[in-house]
A and B are shown apart, each in its own frame.
Chain A
Amino acid sequence: MKIEVLFPEICNLYGDLFNIKYLKDCLPEAEIVNTGLKEQPLFLTEKPDLIYMGTTTEQGQIMAIEALSKYKERIHRCIEDGVSFLITGNALEVFCKDIYEEDEKVADGLGILDLTARRKARKRFNSLYLGEFKAGEKESPIKIVGFKSVFGYAYGENYNNELFETERGDGLNPGVKGEGIRINNFFATYIIGPLLVLNPPFTRWFIKEALMCNSAEIAFSEAAENAYEDRVKEYSDPNTGFYY
């Protein structure tokens, strides 16, 4: 199994890279391929089992867009072919049509997602997140917990591919219940940090269904489940404030 991590030298904020470290703990045989900004991505020559990109700076977003823009068609094809992507935090905005700061366009995105990212220069939007992931018609939804700490949100008129359904906290933007995007096995969410570490039931599903690895058990499952159960309980409590 090969996991390609895009631009870890800049896409490494808020503990996001622990999504990959944790997958490596769960799947010791997995090979992690770090692709730098000035290197040719692995996905050009083969189909990795997972392509990951994490949260970055605003300048980092521009660099990532520049580095990936010449591979747009290939990325499209990978998504259509069912290659798994996990995109966390503001790396999601790299795949949008464009990025605006206040009312000024600061970058064309890759245009993979029919969304426009709009951010504020001096405002942080911080919240906890509680939502559900619907794995399938017959399966029980999986509770998702996490954190959002962003400069803005994504907006789109034809937005109907949500990854999670929000119970508390903001969706892709404050006006929608849906959070993140799922297209085939392309998973993108504004949730920052170690999403997979904090959500063992989702990680179990992700490894089995998105990475198609039936045999693996998640690492440190007891400790992870204990922390997860407490967090779900805490976030489900109406007395727990959600915004910072």
Chain B
Amino acid sequence: MSKLRFTVALWAAKLSVVALKITKHNGTNFPGVVALKICPDFLRHIQKPRHIIGVTGTNGKTTVCNLAIDMFRADGKIVLNNNLGSNIDSGISTALINGVNIWGKCRYDSALLEIDERSAPLIFPYVKPEILLINNLTRDSIMRNGHPQYIARILTEEIPKETKLLINGDDLIASGIAPSNSRKYFGIESMDTDINECINLINDMQICPKCAGRLRYSHVRYHHIGKALCPECGFSSPECDYVGKNVNTESMTMEISDSGVSCTYRLLNDSIFNIYNVLAVVSLFRELGYRREKICALLEKVEIVKSRFSEQEAGGYKIVRQMSKDKNALGASRAFDYVSGRPGTKELILMMNCLGDTKHWSENICWLYDADFEFLNKEDIKNIIVTGPRAKDYYLRLKLAGLPDEKLTFVEKELEAPSSLRLYPGESIYVFYGTDSIALGSRVVENIKKVITERGDRQ
């Protein structure tokens, strides 16, 4: 019966793939949704590639997967993946449906799957990666993810025992996942930007997981990411198998050593997230048996997708689109930190409201109080325009961060926000948008250009 149900589910899903192609709706999870509706344990039955690599964690999953897929492609290898769909069970199902023929026979030898950490209970009973890369575990959506220890517990309970883990050893929450699984760690030895005390509001690893003593950090990158030691019981961050060192954001290089041999790799972006993403990908390819020189060569052929950060010039101003995933305090803090550290006079438009929530209920704004808006209280940030459904909440939060009224502007509608720009000569204008407001963010950028042109014409 279950075999029959699976076959019906597969054919229905395959038909939906054809229908979606005809109607030009590629890249949705619909086939997987159809399959799971008809056959709830569809993932158990579908034939999978012999080798599966999984990538999970809070931040960087998509970037790591895209980089790895591009590097495989540059090496002439096509791996099954879900980079056009989602990373929950229906997205994984859709990818696997695309990987089999109408008779259910898998056409791929290998798969690289981005796996939503919260969806582990729906995926890992059936999809058992040989290697699972865990990039980090940090706070995410309060409603969905609770807190990182909760996600760590889910992963520990769900990750297959036979899966080998490749974990960010600079993340003590991630490092503790599934302790009985075999594992290797990657981490960065030290960086010029290291501090030894967390300055972020979110700091989820302050006490020793063994004895509850206060941890002492020798290196802090951001939040709880860094290297720690418990002076009371001697517990410490794990020794890493892949060690990043001599990170140089001018030459855009980083040395990574393993097994006592060092090699210099190209960095693709100077943000700390992306430095870790390169380290993760290099570690993964080394685990897969790639030679160091080969990985170097492959890294030369790939780029980080720029949908999350892009800049353009308009009338002597720089306009920067900065993705800040909505309801994600840690992501916002990283973006605030990065932008506030960039040189020059700036104006900001904050519009990362969760527009999806507006349709169903009202956004839970507690995350604003986990995010480091304090980073925006800088001399060279001259004006912050808050706009959209939660603009008054942003305004209040920025007041608590110490920003004076004269630096804050409230504009109800996002598209009208550019009119309130002051346009200081040569400044940069940053538009912070969320995953729900990508298209709206683009329209706001167009309106900024119009405002710049209009004011230029008037002068």
Is there contact, CB below 8 Å, between B396 and A59? no
Can you report 20 residue pairs joining A to B where beta carbons are below 8 Å apart? A13-B147, A14-B369, A15-B368, A17-B201, A17-B369, A22-B400, A37-B212, A126-B143, A126-B364, A128-B362, A193-B364, A193-B365, A194-B366, A223-B395, A223-B396, A226-B392, A227-B392, A235-B362, A243-B361, A244-B360
Chain B: which residue is nearest A193 at the CB level?
B366
User: What's the dominant secondary structure at chain A's contact region?
Assistant: mixed
A56 to B361, CA, bound (A): 25
Pair A15/B396 contact, Cβ less than 8 Å = no
Q: Assuming A126-B143, A128-B361, A244-B143, is B366 touching A25 (CB within 8 A)?
A: no
B146 cross-chain contacts in A, Cβ below 8 A: 124, 149, 151
> Across the interface, do A244 and B396 meet the contact criterion of CB distance under 8 Å?
no
B-side contacts of A21, CB under 8 Å: 400
Please give the distance in Å from B375's CB to the nearest CB on chain A. 16
B195 at the interface (CB under 8 A from A): no
Q: Does A81 contact B (CB under 8 A)?
A: no
Q: Say if the beta carbon of A31 comes within 8 Å of chain B.
A: no
State A56–B362 Cα separation when bound (angstroms). Answer: 24
Within 8 A of A (CB), among B137-166: 142-144, 146-147, 149-150, 154
Q: Looking at chain B's contact residues, is the secondary structure mostly helix, strand, loop, or mixed? A: helix
Q: Using CB atoms and an 8 Å cutoff, list the residues of chain A in contact with chain B.
A: 9-10, 12-18, 21-22, 25, 36-38, 57-59, 63, 122, 124, 126, 128, 147, 149, 151, 192-194, 197, 219-220, 223-224, 226-227, 230-231, 234-235, 240-244
Specify which chain B residues have a CB less than 8 angstroms from the CB of A124 in the assembled complex.
143-144, 146
Cα–Cα, bound, A156→B396 (Å): 37
Shortest C-beta distance, A136 to chain B (Å), equals: 28
Chain B interface (Cβ < 8 Å from any Cβ of A): 121, 142-144, 146-147, 149-150, 154, 201, 203, 206-207, 212-214, 329, 357, 360-362, 364-370, 392-393, 395-396, 399-400
What residues on A are CB-neighbors of B366 within 8 Å? Answer: 14-15, 147, 149, 192-194
CB distance from A242 to the nearest CB of B (A): 6
Given contacts A10-B207, A15-B370, A220-B396, contact A122 B154 (CB under 8 A): yes
Which residues of chain A come closer than 8 Å to B361, judged between CB atoms?
128, 240-244
A65 to chain B, nearest CB (A): 13
- Structural contact, B396 and A224, CB atoms closer than 8 A: yes
Q: How far is the CA of A230 from the CA of B212 in the complex (A)?
A: 42
